[in-house]
């Protein structure tokens, strides 16, 4: 073999699992991934890139506020690895010419980037000391390239505790949970001694390997530097798992910070709900509910240890992992002493240990916005967002501020704990272009304000009630509904999401659902009605499903959606279901006879719609990709693949409509019932689709419908949401 020649051909490696392919860019025989469609988002390294002359870069495993983690392959050792790239969002961009170099933005952001990069490398050097620690992911090395830094880590295969709990109905037995947590306590105690905190412990950062050993991922030393160079952790905190000191610019952190998060993890895994947000607890007189009251099966001593670890003030909290492990192992309840409360020692104590090498001591969009603000927010959003955007020179920028505040606020829109008062990001990365601007943002506001099926339409009023148009033919009777914040409809079924996170349904197709199951759903943030089925998205990104009860119909595997996690948005469908995940990728299940579920290779997705055996995928640049498409049912709807400047997409039966950034609407597909007659609609801010009708909302709050009126659904035409 010549010098420099490799035994491994990168072109024959699967970008999804790093297994050997049978042909270049073919379908992987191990994981089934179609490598011809392998593509990362524009701000990420391209699949097939090679770093440091050694590491082949594959698909993205995850992206957070400070870094991107890729699956990779050491081409010299033929070893699968994980490679973490330092990429602090908002402070850098990817060079558009090379598609590799990371370029810091000027001024203060450049300083932040450089300091953070130093901490990122320091993290690698510290973690490398714990290669033999079984519960800490091993670090194999680090290097600088492309203007940034990279950490090479062991690739850990297994299941996250978040996913494991979801498989068993949302919670796990206490004995099983503590069997995983206790080894983490021991490993974290040693890591803390070396001067490193994790700062982001939660069920989705703990993987259980096939041998049953827990491994903690994603240490975040770089998170401790703020834009001004001060110690700050108000960025990307996980509500419910972050203690109050992580919300404060100068909050003093130490091992007690990780104790809180680990106690919160136990609470979540044993009860099925997150602890209340720490900031809310600071100002509340109501104590946190003991986990056993919420269905956990901890012993009294274990429950006391969890509550001690969750003390909202650091001075009242367990101060070290050794102490936490000790209290979790007690057989009787240990009284918590309340001596004078010294101020916790800051983490600078640990940083000094890093520098000196000395062992330290042990010192102590807007649907979510509508939900979080209730229906009162609906009127405010409509008043502000329906106005045309102000010019750059105009001093009246109220509507613009209403959106930009959400983009920059760090903690002003907290996620829910026990009800869906959530705050997901207003857009799914990547950000829309300036050309899309205002209409892109407004197009996200109105999801769920109108719903329609075969013979009815319904609109959500500003007081949380629902007005149906038609409905008798489909038995749609939402007359007694109240506090509704989102609607979804299909066929002869209408579903409503209440502000308390519960779900109600009406219609003749309700007979195909498990009503008892729906009655038990809580903490729901989105509902979607499909063919003889109902889906619900939980506040922590899981999916619930009921459908085809007593029908004898083929399910096509749609119920497999309950295995999904980290979901951002559900897309209803006829015989297949699609989801957009928080990282902008997609998942799909159901009928796949013409590859309509083949969505794995897409990234940076902002919206999608499912039509008759096809899937429409909307990107931030306003273009569409279409998968599937059965020639037997082709009425021209696949022509939507040629559309541009699209900011929203909706499908009915054999037709598709798109909202353009200039407020006009385009349509493709069948026009037997006049469902494509939308060309005269102007100044539109939202679109909807029923079985044979297209609907729209304009900037003045007026509603439009195409002509079909089998049950009175067109009567909504000409009405107003005001």
Q: In whole angstroms, what is the distance from residue 330 CA to residue 326 CA?
A: 7
- Residue 549 clears pLDDT 60, i.e. is over it: yes
Confirm whether 80 is domain-assigned.
Answer: yes
Tell whether 170 and 129 lie within a shared domain.
no
Of 136, 154, 172, which residue sits at a domain end? Answer: 154
Tell whether 547 and 633 lie within a shared domain.
yes
Q: In whole angstroms, what is the distance from residue 531 CA to residue 665 CA?
A: 26
First vs last Cα of the chain: how many Å apart?
76
Confirm whether 383 is domain-assigned.
Answer: no
Q: In whole angstroms, what is the distance from residue 324 CA to residue 263 CA?
A: 9
Tell whether 122 and 241 lie within a shared domain.
no
State the CB neighbour count (10 A cutoff) for residue 554.
10
Helix (H) or strand (E) holding 161: helix 161-167
Confirm whether 377 is domain-assigned.
Answer: no
Helix, strand or coil, per DSSP, at residue 701? coil
Interval 580-591 mean pLDDT: 88
Interval 598-619 mean pLDDT: 88
Tell whether 242 and 97 lie within a shared domain.
no
Of 334, 356, 378, which residue sits at a domain end? Answer: 356
Confirm whether 370 is domain-assigned.
Answer: no
More confident residue, 126 or 233: 126
Interval 463-467 mean pLDDT: 93
- Residue 416 clears pLDDT 80, i.e. is over it: no
Domain boundaries, position 216: 158-356
- Residue 465 clears pLDDT 90, i.e. is over it: yes
Q: Which two tokens stand for residue 394?
A: 């105009």
More confident residue, 641 or 426: 641
Domain CATH number, residue 204 = 1.10.510.10
- Residue 666 clears pLDDT 80, i.e. is over it: yes
Q: What angle do CA 149, 151, 152 make, to 5 degrees?
A: 140
Interval 456-480 mean pLDDT: 93
Confirm whether 337 is domain-assigned.
Answer: yes
Domain CATH number, residue 18 = 3.30.200.20
Tell whether 552 and 673 lie within a shared domain.
yes
Report cis status (omega within 30 of 0) of the bond before 430: yes
Q: What percent of the chain has pLDDT over 70?
A: 80
Confirm whether 53 is domain-assigned.
Answer: yes
Kindly report the backbone phi and psi dihedral angles of residue 519, in degrees, each rounded to the nearest multiple of 5, phi listed first.
-60, -25
Query: What is the pTM assigned to this prediction?
Result: 0.49
Helix (H) or strand (E) holding 658: strand 655-660
pLDDT at site 129: 86
Task: Spell 569-590 as b/e; 16+ CB within 10 A means b.
Answer: bbbbbbbbbbbbbbbbbbbbbb
Confirm whether 578 is domain-assigned.
Answer: yes
Tell whether 82 and 113 lie within a shared domain.
yes
Tell whether 47 and 192 lie within a shared domain.
no
Distance of CA 307 to the CA centre of its chain: 28
Tell whether 209 and 342 lie within a shared domain.
yes
Helix, strand or coil, per DSSP, at residue 192? helix
Mean model confidence pLDDT for the chain:
81
pLDDT tens, 62-102?
887 788 999 999 999 999 999 999 998 888 999 888 889 99
Q: Which residues contact 444 (CB under 8 A, 6 or more apart)?
A: 365, 366, 367, 426, 427, 648
- Residue 530 clears pLDDT 80, i.e. is over it: yes
Interval 322-329 mean pLDDT: 93
Domain count, the chain: 3
Of 110, 135, 154, which residue sits at a domain end? Answer: 154
pLDDT at site 268: 95
- Residue 349 clears pLDDT 50, i.e. is over it: no
Please check whether residue 276 is in contact with residue 240, taking contact to mean a CB–CB distance below 8 angstroms: yes
- Residue 273 clears pLDDT 50, i.e. is over it: yes
Confirm whether 1 is domain-assigned.
Answer: no
Tell whether 272 and 339 lie within a shared domain.
yes
- Residue 565 clears pLDDT 50, i.e. is over it: yes
Tell whether 564 and 647 lie within a shared domain.
yes
More confident residue, 444 or 172: 172
Tell whether 137 and 254 lie within a shared domain.
no
Tell whether 330 and 447 lie within a shared domain.
no
pLDDT tens, 120-146?
898 888 888 888 788 888 899 999 999
């Amino acid at each position: 073999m010549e010098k420099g020649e490799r035994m491994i051909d990168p072109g024959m490696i699967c970008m999804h699992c790093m297994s050997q392919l049978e042909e270049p860019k073919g379908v992987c025989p191990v994981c089934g991934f179609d490598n011809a469609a392998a593509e990362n988002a524009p701000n990420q390294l391209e699949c097939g890139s090679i770093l440091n002359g050694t590491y082949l870069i594959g698909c993205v495993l995850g992206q957070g506020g400070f870094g991107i983690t890729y699956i990779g392959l050491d081409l010299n050792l033929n070893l699968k690895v994980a490679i973490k790239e330092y990429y602090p969002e908002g402070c850098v961009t990817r060079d558009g010419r090379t598609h590799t170099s990371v370029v810091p933005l000027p001024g203060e952001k450049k300083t932040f980037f450089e300091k953070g990069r130093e901490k990122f490398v320091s993290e690698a050097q510290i973690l490398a000391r714990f290669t033999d620690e079984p519960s800490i992911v091993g670090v194999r090395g680090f290097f600088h390239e492309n203007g940034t830094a990279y950490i090479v880590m062991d690739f850990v295969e297994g299941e996250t505790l978040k996913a494991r709990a979801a498989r068993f109905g949302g919670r796990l037995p206490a004995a099983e949970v503590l069997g995983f947590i206790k080894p983490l306590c021991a490993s974290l105690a040693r890591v803390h001694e070396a001067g490193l905190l994790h700062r982001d412990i939660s069920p989705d950062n703990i993987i259980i390997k096939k041998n049953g050993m827990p491994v903690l991922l994603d240490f975040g030393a770089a998170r401790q530097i703020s834009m001004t160079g001060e110690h700050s952790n108000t960025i990307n905190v996980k509500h419910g798992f972050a203690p109050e000191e992580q919300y404060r610019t100068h909050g003093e952190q130490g091992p007690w910070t990780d104790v809180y998060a680990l106690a919160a993890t136990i609470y979540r895994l044993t009860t099925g709900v997150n602890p209340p947000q720490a900031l809310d607890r600071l100002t509340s007189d109501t104590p946190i509910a003991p986990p056993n009251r919420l269905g956990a099966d901890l012993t009294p001593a274990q429950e006391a240890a969890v509550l001690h670890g969750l003390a909202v003030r650091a001075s009242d909290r367990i101060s070290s992992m050794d102490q936490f492990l000790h209290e979790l192992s007690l057989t009787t309840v240990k009284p918590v002493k309340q001596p004078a409360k010294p101020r916790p020692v800051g983490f600078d104590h640990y940083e000094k240990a890093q520098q000196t090498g000395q062992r330290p001591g042990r010192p102590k969009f807007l649907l979510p916005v509508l939900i979080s603000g209730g229906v009162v927010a609906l009127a405010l959003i409509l008043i502000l967002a329906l106005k045309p955007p102000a010019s750059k020179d105009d001093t009246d920028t109220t509507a613009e501020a209403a959106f930009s505040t959400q983009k920059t606020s760090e903690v002003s829109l907290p996620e829910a704990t026990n009800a869906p008062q959530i705050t997901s990001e207003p857009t799914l990365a990547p950000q829309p272009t300036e050309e899309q601007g205002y209409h892109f943002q407004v197009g996200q506001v109105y999801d769920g304000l109108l719903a329609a099926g075969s013979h009815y339409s319904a609109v959500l009023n500003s007081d949380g009630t629902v007005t149906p148009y038609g409905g008798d033919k489909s038995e749609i009777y939402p007359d007694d509904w109240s506090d509704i914040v989102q609607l979804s409809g299909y066929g002869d079924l209408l579903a409503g999401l209440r502000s308390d996170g519960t779900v109600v349904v009406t219609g003749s197709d309700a007979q195909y659902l498990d009503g008892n199951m729906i009655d038990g759903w809580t903490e729901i943030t989105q509902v979607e009605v499909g063919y003889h089925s109902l889906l619900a998205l939980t506040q922590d990104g899981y999916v619930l499903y009921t459908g085809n009860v007593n029908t004898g119909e083929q399910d096509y595997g749609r119920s497999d959606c309950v295995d999904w996690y980290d979901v951002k948005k559900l897309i209803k469908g006829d015989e297949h279901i699609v989801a957009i995940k928080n990282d902008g990728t997609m998942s799909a299940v159901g009928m796949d006879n013409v590859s309509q579920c083949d969505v794995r290779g897409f990234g940076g997705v902002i919206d999608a719609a499912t039509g008759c055996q096809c899937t429409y995928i909307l990107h931030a640049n306003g273009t569409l990709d279409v998968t599937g498409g059965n020639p037997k049912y082709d009425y021209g709807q696949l022509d939507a693949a040629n559309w541009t400047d699209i900011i929203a997409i909706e499908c009915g039966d054999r037709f598709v409509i798109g909202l353009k950034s200039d407020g006009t609407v385009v349509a493709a597909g069948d026009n037997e019932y006049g469902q494509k007659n939308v060309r005269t609609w102007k100044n539109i801010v939202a679109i909807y689709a029923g079985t044979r009708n297209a609907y729209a909302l304009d900037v003045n709050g007026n509603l439009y419908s195409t002509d079909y009126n089998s049950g009175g659904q067109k009567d909504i035409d000409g009405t107003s949401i005001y």
